[in-house]
Chains A and B, each alone.
Chain A
């Protein structure tokens, strides 16, 4: 059966072109890959190659003809043993589909929900702490260490890798004594090679392991961010659900002290932007331990943002075996009736201090510890605002496109009628973090900034 050669599209946007030149004539034998013509568009000239073997039976378009539509027949190819009579017998036996059979665009996009749909099922609550449970005082550092050790005992596919995690015992001693207990197969010192070991960790996760990848700080993860986003977060979707990536990227995030701009940045909103990731930023030791254990068990990639300045802080933690805190659930750290303050990580401490000060001035503040940045527990925030009618969103990072901007936007969209004042935000000054002690202090947000913002939204300033 003769084969019609159609005018090809050089690009997805091409609709027509000029047949500049035929490089074959009737009677020529062509095989797949032979150039048969040159076509031109306003952007490029390209050669058209034959994709079938045969003898050129007829050229349907004159050399130099302009405006030849994509998918219009331009020549007829005779197969082995056919002669010209075959062309009359079976004219339009196009190889595949008619020109107008290009796939229709997907039906109109479904209305996109404002908040991510992937938050899905209801999130479990914090574990019950039975009456009479004793409390143990522990630093955030050791709580994180215990979380890893417990999960490594429970599941031998869990391993830790990163710079100085093994023999040095961790740059911030978060992996202290893990090497002694689990050996160098499961506590792996890497070279200083963030891009490489983040990608290697993703591959290990695809290969069936559960890596806990430590970045000495999240500032250095900038070298590896392609693997967190393009490789870890997106591959499940791009594979139609085949390629789960159970990996935890963890390490200190945010401003340390007097280390300058390159070592002081809060990445919450960066990672919080990306579907396919979970992003956790705990404040106290109980959450650090319970959320890290949950992160290691989670079948998804989790970015776990710790705070260097919190590592040495001690908190009471319930003495309960297998303490797990669910990802995706904010915690009301202090109840109040006049204003809602949201915060995460170290800022929670400032928010609680601010609430103390405000209480002395007769203002009752409710403090919500977000704990998880993605999925964001909007429900808890909205419920609170419906009660207090005012909100201050506090974060350590920059304001533009920040976590507080997102929360304020959701509150306006979902609880507009409940607001008695525009949402207020507290964030770092819009400059790289300076080194000089006075400038650094001016740049970073703290308790006073939160108190001031509360006074603005309560019109008590």
Chain B
């Protein structure tokens, strides 16, 4: 059960025959655009003082959640860390509710009591939004434990970053997940920097997909900027987990364009490095090229999608500012389940 390195290459795959349908591709393109425009709007609102505290933007990493979500089924669970806005939108949560949580208003998914890092939707099977680095990993395996216990055929998509990959509880979880063959996908979003520390400076083994070897968990490196590559890898891994063969590790090589959080000046990397990703590996541009090459849509249609995403993001910003602050009585609710 040695780890395998995929042969996925970057934009060269464009020429190859796509394994996905036109509808899938157009949906993903729109989903990625929505996340991008939403996050840009969130950044703007932060800059204007409407969003406070920590705000970790997902810009640049959109292909990861969108491609993985494409491989999930209704009822599968999703859980992640604090860079979570993209995951929520991909899981089908409303932009309005997410943005209003960022502004701390009653219309937010947590009634304004959670904030950027702590949002949930039982309806969409999104289990947070966790602010302690790595803590979501055993919780995600616990969701998979419940799936297996209930024999419901569902799986848990458990996301964490390259920073969390060095937390001890991740390995405690890997051990139990394989020991009990839990139906869980461990998706490592390797955006190459844990706050300001590069993977090379923090990890003795920088190929994070190999981290499951000693537990017998297969792993694979994936071009996380290519939504099709992400989908294909996630589909294979999800099928395996669903079939009872246990966990799978997918290391998504990706890149965040913005700082770690809004107040991070990002001096630990060069502008050229950021620009090279933006100019040559942008997940949305790559998807756009695939769509145009395949003749699935023209420029105007794609422009229309962008307008649509901007409209949703703008409307969510309006909603998030119009929604009232929580009533002071909310201070005392939701501490315990009563009765």
With contacts A239-B118, A243-B120 taken as known, whether A200 is within 8 angstroms of B135 at the C-beta atoms is no
Chain B residues near A110: list those with CB within 8 A: 328, 331
* Total number of residue pairs linking A and B with CB closer than 8 Å: 235
The contact of A96 among B50, B109, B149, B265, by CB within 8 Å, is B50
* Interface residue B2 (Cβ < 8 Å from any Cβ of A): no
* Interface residue A235 (Cβ < 8 Å from any Cβ of B): yes
CA distance A208 to B125 in the complex (A): 12
Chain B residues near A133: list those with CB within 8 A: none
Contact pattern, B 101-143, Cβ under 8 Å of A = 1, otherwise 0: 0011100111111100011111000011111100101111111
The contact of A9 among B49, B265, B332, by CB within 8 Å, is B49
Contact pattern, A 16-52, Cβ under 8 Å of B = 1, otherwise 0: 0000000000000000110100000000111101011
Chain A residues near B146: list those with CB within 8 A: 203-204, 206-209
Q: How far is the CB of A274 from chain B (nearest CB, A)?
A: 10
* Interface residue A344 (Cβ < 8 Å from any Cβ of B): no
Q: Which of B169-177, B194-202, B228-236, B237-245 contacts A (4 or more CB under 8 A)?
A: B169-177
With contacts A203-B141, A239-B118 taken as known, whether A95 is within 8 angstroms of B44 at the C-beta atoms is yes
Number of interface residues, chain B, beta carbon within 8 A:
83
Chain A residues near B326: list those with CB within 8 A: 106
* Interface residue A378 (Cβ < 8 Å from any Cβ of B): no
* Interface residue A241 (Cβ < 8 Å from any Cβ of B): yes
* Interface residue B262 (Cβ < 8 Å from any Cβ of A): yes
With contacts A51-B40, A242-B120 taken as known, whether A208 is within 8 angstroms of B150 at the C-beta atoms is yes
B50 pairs with A103, CB closer than 8 A: yes
A199 pairs with B135, CB closer than 8 A: yes
With contacts A10-B263, A243-B120, A243-B127 taken as known, whether A226 is within 8 angstroms of B44 at the C-beta atoms is no
* Interface residue A397 (Cβ < 8 Å from any Cβ of B): no
What are 16 A-B contacts with C-beta separation under 8 Å? Answer: A46-B265, A70-B47, A102-B48, A102-B49, A103-B321, A195-B172, A196-B169, A198-B138, A203-B138, A203-B144, A230-B131, A231-B139, A240-B120, A241-B333, A242-B122, A243-B128
B47 pairs with A6, CB closer than 8 A: yes
Q: Supply 15 further A-B pairs (C-beta < 8 A) apart from A8-B48, A51-B44, A109-B328.
A: A10-B265, A12-B53, A47-B271, A51-B41, A70-B49, A193-B172, A193-B175, A196-B176, A199-B139, A199-B169, A200-B138, A200-B142, A200-B145, A239-B109, A240-B120
Q: How far is the CB of A332 from chain B (nearest CB, A)?
A: 25
B104 pairs with A196, CB closer than 8 A: no
A202 pairs with B40, CB closer than 8 A: no
Chain A residues near B137: list those with CB within 8 A: 199
Q: How far is the CB of B57 from chain A (nearest CB, A)?
A: 10
* Interface residue A71 (Cβ < 8 Å from any Cβ of B): yes
B176 pairs with A193, CB closer than 8 A: yes
Number of interface residues, chain A, beta carbon within 8 A:
75
* Interface residue B254 (Cβ < 8 Å from any Cβ of A): no
B135 pairs with A235, CB closer than 8 A: no
Chain B residues near A44: list those with CB within 8 A: 263, 265
A33 pairs with B77, CB closer than 8 A: no
With contacts A103-B104, A110-B331 taken as known, whether A201 is within 8 angstroms of B142 at the C-beta atoms is yes
A: residues with CB less than 8 A from B are 6, 8-12, 32-33, 35, 44-47, 49, 51-52, 70-71, 95-97, 99, 101-104, 106-107, 109-110, 116-118, 120-121, 157, 159, 185, 190-191, 193, 195-209, 226-227, 230-231, 235-244, 275-276, 278, 299-300
With contacts A199-B169, A231-B135 taken as known, whether A101 is within 8 angstroms of B321 at the C-beta atoms is yes
Chain A residues near B48: list those with CB within 8 A: 6, 8-9, 70-71, 96-97, 99, 102
Contact pattern, B 48-62, Cβ under 8 Å of A = 1, otherwise 0: 111011000001000
B138 pairs with A195, CB closer than 8 A: yes
Q: Which residue of A is nearest B303, CB measured?
A: A80
Q: Which residue of A is nearest B140, CB measured?
A: A203
Chain A residues near B295: list those with CB within 8 A: none
Q: Which residue of A is nearest B263, CB measured?
A: A11
A33 pairs with B59, CB closer than 8 A: yes
CA distance A431 to B110 in the complex (A): 43
A120 pairs with B138, CB closer than 8 A: no
A240 pairs with B135, CB closer than 8 A: no
Q: How far is the CB of A136 from chain B (nearest CB, A)?
A: 31
CA distance A207 to B144 in the complex (A): 8
Among B105, B317, B337, which residue has the most Cβ atoms of chain A within 10 A? B337
* Interface residue B179 (Cβ < 8 Å from any Cβ of A): yes
CA distance A203 to B142 in the complex (A): 4
CA distance A118 to B328 in the complex (A): 15
A196 pairs with B128, CB closer than 8 A: no
The contact of B143 among A52, A203, A239, by CB within 8 Å, is A203
B130 pairs with A231, CB closer than 8 A: yes
* Interface residue B334 (Cβ < 8 Å from any Cβ of A): yes
A191 pairs with B335, CB closer than 8 A: no
* Interface residue B43 (Cβ < 8 Å from any Cβ of A): yes
Among A101, A118, A120, A238, which residue has the most Cβ atoms of chain B within 10 A? A238
* Interface residue B257 (Cβ < 8 Å from any Cβ of A): yes
A227 pairs with B143, CB closer than 8 A: no
* Interface residue B45 (Cβ < 8 Å from any Cβ of A): yes
Chain A residues near B132: list those with CB within 8 A: 226, 230-231
Chain B residues near A99: list those with CB within 8 A: 48
CA distance A230 to B317 in the complex (A): 30
Q: Which residue of B is nearest A211, CB measured?
A: B142
Chain A residues near B144: list those with CB within 8 A: 203
* Interface residue B278 (Cβ < 8 Å from any Cβ of A): yes
Chain A residues near B128: list those with CB within 8 A: 235, 238-239, 243
* Interface residue B223 (Cβ < 8 Å from any Cβ of A): no
Chain B residues near A193: list those with CB within 8 A: 172, 175-176
B321 pairs with A240, CB closer than 8 A: no
A117 pairs with B110, CB closer than 8 A: no
Q: Which residue of A is nearest B306, CB measured?
A: A53
CA distance A207 to B126 in the complex (A): 11
B47 pairs with A8, CB closer than 8 A: yes
Chain A residues near B205: list those with CB within 8 A: none
Q: Which residue of B is nearest A207, CB measured?
A: B146
Contact pattern, B 302-336, Cβ under 8 Å of A = 1, otherwise 0: 00000000000000011001000110100111111
CA distance A106 to B103 in the complex (A): 12
A236 pairs with B321, CB closer than 8 A: no
* Interface residue B338 (Cβ < 8 Å from any Cβ of A): yes
Chain A residues near B46: list those with CB within 8 A: 8-9
B142 pairs with A199, CB closer than 8 A: yes
Chain B residues near A196: list those with CB within 8 A: 138, 169, 172-173, 175-176
B45 pairs with A96, CB closer than 8 A: yes
Q: Which residue of A is nearest B324, CB measured?
A: A103
Contact pattern, B 153-192, Cβ under 8 Å of A = 1, otherwise 0: 0001000000000001100110110010000000000000
CA distance A413 to B339 in the complex (A): 29
With contacts A12-B49, A107-B328, A200-B173 taken as known, whether A206 is within 8 angstroms of B139 at the C-beta atoms is yes
With contacts A9-B49, A11-B263, A97-B48 taken as known, whether A240 is within 8 angstroms of B138 at the C-beta atoms is no
CA distance A346 to B77 in the complex (A): 43
CA distance A231 to B129 in the complex (A): 11
